[in-house]
Structure formats: C-alpha cells, structure tokens
C-alpha cells in the first residue's frame, strides 16, 4: 500500500459510525492493509489499519507487534493513571499477569455463575415485560452484565448510571477532556475499593482472590497491577457484553427469516450467538499494537515504532474467509471468527460473555414472542474501538 495515500475515515461522517461495512468492503477490494486517519484523531496522526481476515489473524498473534506502548515511547492515559493491564503488556510480563489472573478467574467460577445470571435476567425481564416496550440497552443489555461483573468482582452497588457514563467515556470518548476525567475518577474509585478489600479480610469475590493469589514462586500482583486488572475486568467485562446483546438482537430483528428459524429451533441459539459475534461483533478494532521492529504485512512495509490497528469488524466480513459475508446466517460455520481476538491476548472473559449472551437473548425470545423494533436504533458509539448503540427501542 502506498504510504503517501492516507484514507481519512473521519470524512465518511456519521454514515461510517452507523455502518462501517461498505467502507471496509471498498478498502478490502484495494488491499488488506491501509494507511488511515482515525475519526476524531489529530490531523497529523496516522496509523495502519488491517482489514483482511488472514492478515488480521496473523497480526493478532505476531510477537513483532507489541502491546506495551512504552517500548516505542508511547504512553496512554489509562496506563499512566490506572496501571498496566493484560491489553498493554507483552511476554514475559503478560505471561506472568495472565497466569496470576487465570488462577482466580477459572472456567469453574464462570459455570457457577450460570444460575445467578439466569436469575438476574429473569428479574430484569419481569420488570420489563408488563410495559410492552422498552429501550433494550437500558432494560436488559446494560444492567445484566454490569450486575454480573460487579457481583463477580465484589464491587458494591455503586451508582450504576454514573459508572456507565464513566465507562463509556473510557471506551468511546466524546473528547479528550471527558476521557481524562473519567479515567481519573475510575482510578480513584478502584484504589479505594482495593484498599477497602485489603482491610476487610477474606471474602469469596474475584477481586479479593486476586489480592490473595500467589504463584508457586511467591509472586503476587502489585497494588498498581491490581488496579489495572480491576479496571480491565470491570470495563471489558460489561461493555462488550452490552454490545453483544444489543447488536445481536438488532441483527435478529432486521432478519425476520433468521429470527423465525431460531424461534422454531432454540437449539440453534449457540450458533446464532457466534454468528452475531461475527456479523457485528461488540469490538470494532483491537487496541493498538506497535511495530517493535520493521516488518511487512501483505507486502506493506511497517516501520519500527508505527502504530497498527487490527480491524476485527472488517476482518469478519472478508469474503475470502466467509462466503456471502454480509448475510446474517445463524446456521453458518463461524469457526475462526475474531470477535474475541486471537493468540495470547484472546479474551479472558469470552466464556462469561457467551454465557450472558445466550442467557439474555434466549430468555428474551421465550418471554417476548412478538418482539420487534419500536423505532430506529439510537446513536452508535464514536471511535473505532467499540461497536454498539446507545439505545435500541423494542416492543412486544
């Protein structure tokens, strides 16, 4: 790809925010790697965007593309104010952190949550159903995962509306000032929370386990690492699932044949959720990677120190990987989709997100036989990180 040719994604305006797929399709026709300017970014800031499936999958597992920005002199607000987490570290630091977290965040722990996730879902639907209409994001897609992750981590019943505002500003900032304020406030909150848990004595929540977790060699998470991990688990643990439920239900309601097929055979639910993840997954692009050394991707030279963005949403619609990629098909073979990433940074919370998505969508369809859109979806989130709506009006 010609280094001089820069695609300004901001020039596509709100149409790109609502539906980026036509733009990604045109880019893929020209090649799998492009020099771009991100929406809302400084006009002098450019990065590389990968839009092809094979190239994206390879990049996600390429050790030459570092996640730790300090290796090339880059620093980000959340790392400075909150601390390093799994998304901002490379081996051996990443290996150590993931090993310590995996000791506490086990598959067994997720499976034990199944009855509680069903109960929370049922309670939310009990409240929602008599009304006959609702904003699905406010009524179900947001409160379910935030309640689950807060209970899992042992976070008290904070002001959920305030937390939602802060969290959304971190992953889809309105501007630099609001992002800065949100990160500062979340950092302060998490510092107090961790100190409270240290002094309160042992409890059975995940954050307390992380405080106590010790490896065979006596290694433990430092206070800063604990804060970074809590930040990642709290935000990534609910923002992505909000979008999985919202985007997934929207896909069903705009494809009545697929909705009818699923209603006729609910054993298709697991595959349907995987197709939702492929078709319009909750994360539009993976977080930044940095060229730790010069490399080539599909014949494009990437210089040491340059930033690379792996387009997950773009890669999932690559026709070379998935036939008829713009068709939503709940019976499709979705194996290899990249909604949860790939390689050593594969999403630690994928089993929990899948469980919540299946529970929420399956229960909703059982309880609301006449489910339909009740107007247009609300504003889509800004930025290139998350893919989701602020509201989704439905009726039944």
Give the residue extent of every domain in the chain. Answer: 7-395
Residue 82: closest CA among 211, 171, 185, 196:
185
Token output for 242: 């909000």
The closest alpha carbon to 334, from 277, 261, 251, belongs to: 277
pLDDT of residue 43: 79
194 pairs with which residues across the strands? none
| Sign of the alpha-carbon dihedral angle for 308, 313, 318, 322 | positive
Task: Determine the pLDDT at residue 213.
Answer: 80
369: phi then psi, degrees, rounded to nearest 5: -65, -25
Residue with tokens 């893929």: 28
What is residue 85's predicted lDDT score, i.e. its pLDDT? Answer: 86
- pLDDT value of residue 76: 62
Per-residue pLDDT tens, the chain, 396 aa: give them: 556 689 999 999 999 999 999 999 999 999 999 999 998 777 788 999 999 999 999 999 999 999 998 877 766 656 667 777 898 899 999 999 999 888 888 889 999 999 999 999 999 999 999 999 999 999 999 999 999 988 888 887 766 677 778 888 888 887 778 888 888 888 888 888 888 888 887 788 888 888 888 766 778 888 888 888 888 888 888 889 999 999 999 999 999 999 999 999 999 999 999 999 999 999 999 999 999 999 999 999 999 999 999 999 999 999 999 999 999 999 999 999 999 999 999 999 999 999 999 999 999 999 999 999 999 999 999 989 999 999 999 999
The span from the first CA to the last CA of the chain, in angstroms, equals: 49
Q: What is the CATH number of domain 7-395?
A: 1.10.630.10
pLDDT of residue 314: 98
User: From CA 308, how far away is CA 20, in angstroms rounded?
Assistant: 18
CB atoms closer than 10 angstroms to residue 222: 11
pTM of the model: 0.93
Find out whether 60 and 309 touch, Cβ atoms under 8 Å: no
User: Which CA distances in Å does 238 have to 153, 168, 185, 231, 352?
Assistant: 12, 10, 18, 11, 10
**Is the distance from CB of 145 to CB of 121 less than 8 angstroms?**
no
Counting other chains too, the contacts that 262-267 makes at CB distance below 8 Å and 24 or more residues apart are 262/330, 262/365, 263/365, 263/369, 266/362, 266/365, 266/366
Instruction: State the residue for tokens 């607000």.
Output: 77
């Amino acid at each position: 790809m010609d280094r001089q040719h820069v695609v300004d994604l901001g020039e596509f305006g709100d149409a790109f925010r609502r539906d980026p797929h036509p733009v990604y399709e045109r880019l893929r026709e020209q090649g799998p790697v492009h020099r771009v300017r991100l929406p809302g970014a400084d006009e002098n800031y450019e990065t590389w965007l990968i839009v092809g499936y094979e190239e994206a999958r390879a990049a996600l597992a390429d050790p030459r593309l570092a996640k730790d920005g300090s290796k090339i002199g880059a620093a980000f607000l959340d790392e400075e104010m909150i601390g390093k987490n799994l998304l901002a570290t490379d081996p051996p630091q990443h290996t150590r952190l993931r090993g310590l977290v995996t000791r506490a965040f086990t598959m067994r722990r997720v499976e034990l949550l199944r009855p509680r996730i069903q109960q929370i879902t049922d309670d939310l639907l009990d409240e929602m159903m008599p009304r006959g209409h609702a904003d699905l994001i406010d009524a179900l897609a947001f409160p379910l995962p935030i309640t689950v992750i807060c209970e899992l981590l042992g976070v008290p019943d904070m002001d959920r509306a305030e937390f939602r505002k802060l969290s959304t500003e971190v992953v889809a900032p309105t501007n630099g000032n609001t992002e800065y304020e949100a990160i500062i406030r979340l950092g302060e909150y998490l510092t107090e929370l961790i100190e409270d848990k240290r002094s309160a004595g042992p409890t059975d929540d995940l954050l307390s386990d992380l405080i106590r977790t010790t490896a065979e060699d006596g290694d433990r998470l430092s206070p800063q690492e604990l804060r970074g991990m809590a930040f990642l688990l709290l935000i990534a643990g609910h923002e992505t699932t909000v979008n999985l439920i919202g985007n997934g239900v929207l896909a069903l309601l705009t494809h009545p044949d697929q909705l009818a097929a699923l209603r006729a055979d609910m054993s298709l639910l697991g595959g349907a959720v995987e197709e939702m993840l492929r078709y319009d997954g909750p994360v539009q692009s993976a977080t930044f990677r940095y060229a730790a050394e010069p490399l080539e991707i599909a014949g494009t030279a990437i210089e040491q120190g340059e930033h690379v963005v792996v387009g997950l949403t773009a890669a999932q619609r690559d026709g070379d990987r998935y036939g008829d990629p713009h068709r939503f098909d709940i019976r499709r073979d979705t194996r290899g989709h990249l909604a949860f990433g790939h390689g050593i940074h594969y999403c630690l919370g994928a089993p929990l997100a899948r469980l919540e998505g299946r529970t929420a969508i399956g229960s909703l369809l059982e309880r609301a036989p006449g489910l339909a859109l009740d107007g247009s979806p609300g504003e889509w989130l800004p930025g290139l990180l998350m893919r989701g709506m602020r509201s989704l009006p439905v009726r039944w």
